[in-house]
Structure 1
Amino acid sequence: MPVKLVFLGKLADLAGAPEREVEAPLDWQALVGTLGAELGDALAGEKVKVAVNGAVLSDKTALSAKDGDEVALLPPVSGG
């Protein structure tokens, strides 16, 4: 069972789809490598958060996802 990536906001636009499945296990380096340069660069910014199964990681580079996990990529939120 693969890892499900969920792209929110502008990250979905960059990814070309709101979701994608990738092979497990998945760590930070594999995630960035899988997504390509433009999307990988967008994820590298401090303001993009990563959540695994609904829990936001305090250090996204510590990502460790296994079969069946859902990894959500959360762009910065602007508001007013």
Structure 2
Amino acid sequence: MPMNANDIEKMIKNAIPDATVTIRDLAGDGDHYAAEVVSESFRGLSRVKQHQMVYAALEGNMGGVLHALALQTSAPD
């Protein structure tokens, strides 16, 4: 069963409380999403570390229930 966008957003915000999260369903199938995550906690971190924080927030669902996630991360301007 696919994940819904609200569940993805909640999981990210639970792990990164100050994050602004925007989720888009890319294929309309609940399996392929794009996420933009902006958080002050990303400041000074490499893009890899930022993505690792988001993947950790998804608690192992990435690659399983959540098939694909195109991820953009950044610190606020």
With the length of structure 2 as denominator, give the TM-score of the two structures. 0.35
Using the size of structure 1 for normalisation, the TM-score is 0.34
The answer to which structure has the higher strand fraction is 1
User: Whose relative contact order is higher, 1 or 2, with alpha carbons under 8 Å and at least 6 apart?
Assistant: 1
